[in-house]
């Protein structure tokens, strides 16, 4: 079975632009979570979606939004990009929510200039 896939793998944007990152979970997984990993730090939780509903949100500004589609894939949107948004964005999926192993994708590396 394919693992978690993310697209694109790399992205370069300029300040003020908008970006959309995409994630396809492992087949059968209904929960998707997004994390931001700034260079040299551990990942930080951004959002969690389960059955197309937002179930958790981390301490990120409203410029960050996400959604989950009927096929359980997900998009992360970031508006009005700042230099500090440069990071590796990781998507993780699990069968259900709570006390479940999360499987991570390879990430999308975003560079904001």
Residues found near another protein in the complex (CB under 8 A)? 4, 31, 33, 35, 41-45, 48, 50, 55-56, 58, 90, 92, 94, 97-107, 109
- Name which of 7 and 17 has its Cβ closer to another protein: 7
Q: How far is the CB of 23 from another protein (least distance, A)?
A: 11
Question: Order of strands, edge to edge, in the sheet holding 19-24?
Answer: 5-7, 19-24, 74-78, 64-68
Minimal distance in Å, beta carbon 42 to another protein?
A: 3
Cα-based distances in Å from 68 to 15, 33, 47, 111, 113: 26, 10, 11, 24, 28
> At its nearest, how many Å lie between another protein and the CB of residue 55?
5
Closer residue to another protein (CB): 12 or 16: 12
> What is each CA distance from 61 to 5, 25, 106, in whole angstroms?
25, 25, 24
């Amino acid at each position: 079975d394919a693992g978690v896939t993310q697209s694109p793998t790399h992205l370069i944007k300029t300040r003020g632009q908008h970006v959309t990152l995409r994630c396809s979970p492992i087949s059968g997984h209904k929960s998707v979570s997004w994390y931001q990993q700034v260079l040299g730090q551990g990942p930080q939780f951004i959002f969690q979606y389960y059955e197309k509903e937002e179930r958790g949100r981390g301490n990120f500004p409203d410029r960050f939004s996400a959604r989950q589609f009927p096929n359980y894939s997900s998009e992360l949107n970031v508006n009005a990009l700042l230099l500090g948004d440069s990071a590796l964005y990781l998507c993780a999926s699990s069968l259900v929510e709570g006390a479940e192993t999360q499987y991570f994708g390879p990430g999308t590396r975003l560079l904001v200039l």
